[in-house]
Structure 1
Amino acid sequence: MRRTRVAAALAALVVGTGLLAACSDDEPSHACEAVGAELDWATPSRDDDERFELTGPGWIAGDSTYSVRLPDERTLWLFSDSFIGEVTAGGRPQPGMAMVHNALVAEDESGRLSTRTAEGPESFFPDPDDETYYWVQDAAVEGDELVVFLSRTRQVGEQGFEWSHNAVARVSLPDLKVTEIIDPGPSTDHVAWGAGVLTTSTTSYVYGIEDLGDTKHLHLARVPAGNLTDRSRWEYRADDGWTSDPTRSARLTDGVANELSVSRFRDGYLMISSDTSQPFSPRINAWTACTPEGPWRDPQTIYETPESGVGQHFTYNAHGHPEISDEGELLISYNVNTFDFAELTRDPTLYRPKFVTLDLE
């Protein structure tokens, strides 16, 4: 059985323009309605929870839970560590259940789900070697392919792991075949890019996390739409504007998690993330801003996860799914896990995403 990222948690315990009438992508805004919004408390969405209450064969549990709407109207769900196999209606795993480091689940217009892994089963994005593997980050459609950001992760001993460096994958559409993994190897880049991706008609914004352990800082890069894989065209938000020098990338805010989302909200932008200002916080926070780079208003707590603190359970990596949300709402997922890995192998169904909806009107 392969490790999940619960090992890290265990280790941690041990040791626009003007008023944004058009919300310009390139010019700073000084005031907008979005930053004055007082957000409601999110409400659980059992219908969306049930989407992933599967017994197999195929994907039965996992984390990350990014989503992308494909050109053929399917929704593609991207998961990191995942259990593949079968479980009983009561959650008991059946012989042959395996864990992979990443998997895709395609959802057609009728709601039918189909799992995509390599044979074995093995990770959809293959492990580069015996010591490292890929966890998924956010993704975006560019023409006839899907661009998926990957975090190459290194195994540390038997119980831990650490982020190594950035990679990116090209996946052909509509057949969902990996055509290329661009993995330049370790570099001086200290930001894990792809925590969230926001695409406009002209520009793709890529959010990244500088993870210092106790503190996580938000960073931002931008690139002309259609050029996500060309790092030579990226610009980074610095303290004094945009720069081509990644070492000048500025810390925009903190308290964010390694996965998040940024989406349009009224005449500005809304960021959703689990709160990391305190270890294993149950809070899901929302930030508002007039432009993709901020400044981000002090966060509002919009939900507290009821699973946190039940036994040894904890929650993490909340983010929104604007492309499949109903009008006037934002669908938000978060992940559930446990510090007791043996519990997870006895009942992998607790390792499924939960969903809430946030009223945006």
Structure 2
Amino acid sequence: MKKIVAICIALGVTVLKLAAQSASTAVNLTDLKFTVEAAPDWNALLKRDQGWFGGDGIYTIPLNGVENKQAKANDKILFIFSDSMIGKIENGKMAPGYKMLHNSVAWLTGNQPADAQMKFYWDTDKKSQPETVFIPHTAQTDSSDYYWLGDGFVNQEMNNAIYIFGYRVRNVSTGAFGFKEVGNTLIKIPVGAQPPYRDVKQMDTPFYLTDKNGDIGSFGAGIYVNTKKAGAVKPDGYIYVYGVRGMAKNLMVARVLPKDFENFANWTFYDGQNWVKDMNKIADVTNSVSNELSLTALPDGRYALIFQVGGMSANVGMRIGATPYGPFGPVIKVWDCQPDLEEKTYVVYNAKAHPSLSAPGELLISYNINSVEFIKDLGKNPNLYRPRFIRMKISSK
């Protein structure tokens, strides 16, 4: 009798899994009606001539923890940037004394691109010169390491602390770009802390992996907070954290309950069918994404994965997902960035959406502009190096 019951239970579980898979495959993953236009008001907000005048890596974190709805007029949004230019632009040129920091932050009050409502922050050194906000200080950190920042969120189950992924990066003499990611770190900012955030906790994580081909992977490219408190459309209580690995820019998905966010042993990883404890069994759920991206719930219950196609290309892309972990449909072209590539040396990368800055039925999307001849091109166009914005308006019909 016990064997019969066990078989019935197993069959029941299998049927439920097949039903769930069937429901996912029945979702339309190929079509979405939308229009896109430039967002010149947001573009103008980050075109600045003094203080912070350039940067990339932009993520936005609503400090009230409501990730999936447009912020209100008095809400504060934390902007986090990776490499940032600090200084002054005079007569169309960078004035002497400019400095590149490895990361910086800003606060915006409200949901509109109002210059008077946005303030930029960086630290200062002993000589009162601009200094990077987050500097690695973990057990695994080498003295030459620095942080580029991944996505972050306010954890409402952990005393409203802000969690941000920090990629430990090291300059190297080999490779195409002269730098290499060497580790994955979690930065915790206590509730009520003020920029430049000197009182933070830094934790080395195990979420850095190497595949059989020697390609690296890491988590923190995007975060989807699928909780009721965060305003999720179909909350299941989990934090979904997205990782990218390999030259093919393969997407990986992990999840954890908010209360267990620092308990890395309680994280699970999607192996294509189930959530498993072993990170090495994680599946690639899709490819051709970028090292920074976003996942956002659409009004019809599907999900929009926004990214730069292939990591660094002229196209902002989207894949439609049936769930936060897939399956995902083919690449849908959202925007052609080619007009921004005025010089052959310019590059575009790391598109993502910002739901807390998006009006209902819209997605505000950013992408970064840079140059492979950085200082030379900034000398000619000092406002080159900053995010650009577009609005995607989603049709309800």
Question: What's the TM-score bracket when you normalise by the shorter of the two chains?
Answer: 0.7 to 0.9
Q: Distance in 2 between matches of 1:113 and 1:156?
A: 36
Deviation at 1:60, TM superposition (A): 1.2
**Partner of 1:312 in structure 2?**
345
**Partner of 2:230 in structure 1?**
none
Q: Distance in 2 between matches of 1:115 and 1:218?
A: 32
Task: Using structure 2 for the length normalisation, give the TM-score.
Answer: 0.78
Verify: 1:288 aligned to 2:320, yes or no.
Answer: yes
Segments of 5+ residues of structure 2 without an aligned counterpart are 1-19, 65-73, 211-215, 228-236
Q: Distance in 1 between matches of 2:328 and 2:103?
A: 31
Q: Distance in 2 between matches of 1:229 and 1:284?
A: 33
Q: For 1:58-94, what per-residue CA distance to the aligned partner results, in whole angstroms no more than 9, with x for missing partners?
A: x211001111111271111110000012223x54222
Question: Which residue among 57, 78, 81 is the counterpart of 1:64?
Answer: 57
Q: Distance in 2 between matches of 1:353 and 1:360?
A: 22
Deviation at 1:34, TM superposition (A): 5.4
Letter in 2 for 1:102: N
Verify: 1:338 aligned to 2:371, yes or no.
Answer: yes
Segments of 5+ residues of structure 1 without an aligned counterpart are 1-26
Question: Which residue among 186, 190, 202 is the counterpart of 1:172?
Answer: 190
Task: Using structure 1 for the length normalisation, give the TM-score.
Answer: 0.85
Question: Which residue among 176, 179, 201 is the counterpart of 1:161?
Answer: 179
Q: How does 1:1-361 map to 2 (within 5 A)?
A: 29-31=23-25, 35-57=29-51, 59-71=52-64, 73-88=75-90, 90-109=91-110, 111=114, 112-120=117-125, 121-128=130-137, 129-143=142-156, 144-157=160-173, 160-176=178-194, 177=197, 178-184=199-205, 188=209, 190-201=216-227, 202-210=237-245, 212-213=246-247, 215-265=248-298, 266-276=300-310, 280-305=312-337, 306-308=339-341, 310-346=343-379, 347-361=381-395
Q: Distance in 2 between matches of 1:187 and 1:338?
A: 28
Aligned-pair identity (%): 27
Q: Distance in 2 between matches of 1:335 and 1:160?
A: 19
Q: For 1:180-234, what per-residue CA distance to the aligned partner results, in whole angstroms no more than 9, with x for missing partners?
A: 0112589656421010000011110000001x23x11100000012432321111
- Whether contact under 8 Å (2:352, 2:367) holds in the other structure is yes
Q: 1:86 to 1:229 in 2, by over 3 A?
A: farther
- Whether contact under 8 Å (2:55, 2:84) holds in the other structure is yes
> Please, what is the CA RMSD of the aligned residues?
2.2
Deviation at 1:116, TM superposition (A): 2.1
Deviation at 1:343, TM superposition (A): 2.5
Q: How many residues align?
A: 329
Q: For 1:31-57, what per-residue CA distance to the aligned partner results, in whole angstroms no more than 9, with x for missing partners?
A: 565525334342110011011122223
- Whether contact under 8 Å (1:147, 1:229) holds in the other structure is no
Letter in 2 for 1:195: A
**Partner of 1:12 in structure 2?**
none
Q: 1:165 to 1:33 in 2, by over 3 A?
A: same
Q: Distance in 1 between matches of 2:193 and 2:136?
A: 21
Point out the structure with max Rg over C-alpha. Answer: 2
Deviation at 1:341, TM superposition (A): 2.0
